[in-house]
Structure 1
Amino acid sequence: MPGSRIIIVDDGRLVRECLAAQLRCHHIDAREAWDLPSLLKQVDAGPPDVILLNAGTADSAMLLQFCGDIDPRTKVVIYGLSMDRESEIVAAAEAGVAGLHLQSESFADLVTMVRSAGNGQALCSPEVSAVLMKRVYAFAAQAHPDSGTESLTARENEVLELLDQGLSNQQIATRLSVSLHTVKNHVHSVLAKLGVSSRAEAVTVFRAGKYAN
């Protein structure tokens, strides 16, 4: 994304200046800010394509909220996140950021994330994806508080586990040595008992029960 304009928001001068210098080596126009006034000054010169915000910067939550109101075309990438603080990861994702960069990830990963954000694509690591999926499972469990798998028969639970593995009805029939018609009946019963309308929703509820806690 040569020619793209990036603003780095980090109250640590050394890290901010080093990061800006490295990004410029990748032909990215990197500007610097360290608080709201300095960010406002940079934004007044024209809305950036991407804002890089250090999660550890003072008032980062307020700065993130401001970044989201700058321009619909401006994307935000958060860096400096830690797997030890999952709530920060979830909060950033809920704020609509385009990238979540962990402390354990490399500079090359960050450049890739910035380029993806500039192209309108969201990107995160498998570790971050796992945290966000756990959040989705928790929401699913809250949405179906009375639709746990306890009401399923042993065979229905078995069918649900195979659905979770991505097997088709025919593959399940072969695995369980039963007819396709029998499998369809089991799947219909599972959906009815879980209070959902699709196999995908059933799997989500199943995983919520396994991983929400």
Structure 2
Amino acid sequence: MIRVMVVATSPVVRVGLAAVVGSASTQMTVVGSAANLDTLIEEVGQLQPDVVLLDLGSNPQGSMWEKLLLIQQEQDAVEFLTIAEAPESIDLEAAIRSGIRGILPGDSTESEIIAAAIAIAQGLVVLHPDFLALLPMREKLATNPVITLTPREIEVLEMLGSGLSNKAIAKQLQISEHTVKFHISSIFQKLAVSSRTEAVTVGVRLGLIML
């Protein structure tokens, strides 16, 4: 059972999102809700959600990303799924750097939200096409990353996309964790990224991997 916490400023939105999660009762359950990130910071450690479903509203604040990053650093088992009004209302690069694993538009259907939450809980990255198309990463990419990434590095990147830990990757490839870290560091450098989520996102954009 996937434990979900709902965060939204509007009580109506909180109730609505909780109802969406509740409709998938055999797969997900709502463990709590919060009106803002300050409340979330206080309760996430106690409630231990797997996924935080966060409605960003129409004007997300810059400090929001710092708070989300802090939460994820303290509770590394928590994944964030955000809902934004429109692509132009969110700083996508800041969101990804803060640990956001999924971004959906405000008009997403109930089934889309449920599917995204389940995918994220399983370690995948979910980006709606409206947001994926606006990711400001083109200028940071290597000239020809398909060539510069080795077959082994692409293999490791695929496993990152599946949410595997370094230990799990090492076991599956029958290599040491040190070697895995070396491959990940090389991937980050070649794709000009600084996090696993960002590496996977760029890998998907380039067609290197499929989620």
What TM-score results when the alignment is normalised by the length of structure 2? 0.57
1:37 Cα deviation from its structure 2 partner: 4.5
Given that 1:78 and 1:99 are in contact with CA atoms closer than 8 Å, whether structure 2 keeps it comes out as: yes
Q: What's the CA shift for 1:124?
A: 1.2
Partner residue in 1 for 2:65: 61
The separation in 2 between residues aligned to 1:62 and 1:14, in whole angstroms, is 26
User: C-alpha separation between the residues in 2 aligned to 1:98 and 1:36?
Assistant: 17
* Contact 1:100/1:123 (8 A) holds in 2: yes
Match status 1:127 vs 2:130: yes
Residue 112 (structure 1) shift: 0.9
Residues 98 and 122 in structure 1, CA contact (< 8 A), matched pair in contact too: yes
CA contact 2:20–2:114 (8 Å) conserved in 1: no
Q: CA deviation at 1:13?
A: 0.6
Cα deviation for residue 62 of structure 1 reads 4.3
Q: Which residue does 1:188 correspond to in 2?
A: none
**Aligned position for 2:176:** none
**2:137 is the alignment partner of 1:139:** no
Unaligned 5+ residue runs, structure 1?
Answer: 145-159, 161-196, 198-203, 205-213
The 5 A counterparts of 1:1-213 are 3-27=1-25, 28-30=28-30, 31-56=32-57, 60-85=64-89, 87-132=90-135, 135-140=136-141
Aligned-partner SS, 1:55: strand
1:10/1:54 contact within 8 Å kept: yes
1:96 Cα deviation from its structure 2 partner: 2.4
Q: Give 2:175's aligned residue.
A: none
**SS at the partner of 1:69?**
helix
The corresponding residue for 1:169 is none
1:92-119 deviation digits (Å, cap 9, x = unpaired): 1222211011123222211111000111
- Whether the aligned pair in 1 keeps the contact of 2:103 and 2:131 (CA below 8 Å) is yes
Distance 1:72 1:22, change over 3 A: same
Q: Deviations over 1:37-70 (max 9, x none)?
A: 5324432324210111121266633442333223
Q: Which letter does structure 2 place at the counterpart of 1:12?
A: S
Cα deviations across residues 111-151 of structure 1 (Å, max 9, x unaligned)? 1110001111111122222112xx221224xx78xxxxxxx
Pair 1:17–1:94, CA change in 2 (3 A): same
Q: Give the superposition deviation at 1:18.
A: 1.7
**Aligned structure 1 segments of 4 or more residues deviating by more than 6 angstroms:** none
User: 3-state SS of the aligned residue for 2:100?
Assistant: coil
In structure 2, the CA distance between the partners of 1:72 and 1:130, relative to structure 1 (3 Å rule), is same
Report how many residues are paired.
Answer: 141
Change (3 A) 1:138 1:81: farther
Query: Could you list the runs of 5+ residues in structure 2 that have no partner in the other structure?
Result: 145-189, 191-201, 203-211
Give the counterpart letter for 1:68 in structure 2. Answer: Q
1:105 maps to a residue whose letter is S
> SS at 1:48's partner residue?
coil
Matched to 1:29, the amino acid is T
- Aligned letter for 1:11? T
**Contact 2:45–2:75 (Cα < 8 Å) also in 1:** no
Letter in 1 for 2:22: R
